[in-house]
Chain A
Amino acid sequence: MSAAENHARKSWVLLHVGNRRFALPAESVMELAPPVRLHNFPHTSRLIAGVIVRRGRIVPVYDVSPVLCGRESSVHRFYLIAERAFGKASEASAIPVNGECELATSEMLPRHENAPSYFAGTLAIENENIDVLDLQELVSAESRSPSAASHAEPRP
């Protein structure tokens, strides 16, 4: 493989949400955190399940399972912490994941025509098409949803 081809092949973190695998660009992933305590308090922000504390920082947890899999995922064993951009700044954001994450190198293919906008593309790995998540778009699109929760009761 030439140096140019090698450059085009990026590194991805493959993660399990529900029973599906997704990918995130490896450079956006900060760490895979153990199942630490999820803290809740009243709020009205959609998708946010609570916060966790990692290395002295308070990290919001986005429960993306209902969006990606259509239902709550009952098995959350780890938290994948990735950076989410807010203008010029970025913030550590956690996604509950089940199963162990893997690192893979692959070239991203364009997303399917009808795929949601929060999929940036797909990876063809081990005879499986794995959707690449655009975390920013995923959580922003859901926040813009007109059916956004209006109650503040914290999630159990």
Chain B
Amino acid sequence: MKIATQDSVKARRSRSTEAVILFCIGTQTFAIAADAVQEIRSTDSLATAAVEMELAEVPKVRHLVERSHRTYYVVSGCAHFGLRVTRPTLVLILRQIRTAVLVDSIERMADVSKVHALPQAFQGEERQWYRGLIYLEDRVIPVIKPDGFLTSEEFARLDRAAQSIESRQELEGAVQA
């Protein structure tokens, strides 16, 4: 009889479960795959680095931040999900996607073994928002699609707006010099 090594047990466990971060926006709890999040920062710590932007076509984005030479657009979680406006205290900076999301709090991390498909009955924007649903400790929690916060069209608009902000800042810098 073979005895499983600790490493192989760990590997098997990691294959069958997925680590998620549970976070709150208002009274709602959401989940996001832990490996989709690069960094979690307080809004205060990013305040000095954030550049204000206002784009009527993408009202859920009011700021951009530069991180590691990349521009991240800061999406208001409340505005995105149509929830009542709250006072977010944290920013989830996503991995691979130039999006950061304002949230109220982190509840905890959890290992989930199954992500249920979103029922077909849901035919609205939520099909872009959610990867599926998890059932955890008698709660059904939607699992966020990291690339569902902004469409490619919205990214293109935001990039154009960001470029014009950068040009304006360069011009202002040149005038001051």
Do the two chains bind?
A: yes
Contact residues of A with B, CB < 8 Å? 37, 39, 41-46, 48, 51, 53, 57-60, 62, 84, 86, 89, 91, 93, 139, 143, 151-154
A142: shortest Cβ distance to chain B, in Å?
11
User: Which B residues lie within 8 Å of A143 (CB)?
Assistant: 123
Contact residues of B with A, CB < 8 Å? 28, 30, 81-84, 116, 119-126, 129, 133, 135, 138-142
B8: shortest Cβ distance to chain A, in Å?
28
Nearest B residue to A48 via CB reads: B121
Partner of A60, one of B81, B121, B124: B121
Docked CA distance A89–B120 (Å): 10
User: Which A residues lie within 8 Å of B81 (CB)?
Assistant: 42, 152
Docked CA distance A37–B30 (Å): 18
Nearest A residue to B132 via CB reads: A58
Give 5 CB contacts A-B under 8 Å: A41-B30, A43-B126, A58-B133, A152-B83, A153-B82
Among B81, B84, B138, B141: residue with most chain A CB under 10 A: B81
Contact of A151 with B82 at beta-carbon distance under 8 Å, contacts A44-B126, A45-B122, A48-B122 already known: yes
Docked CA distance A89–B138 (Å): 28
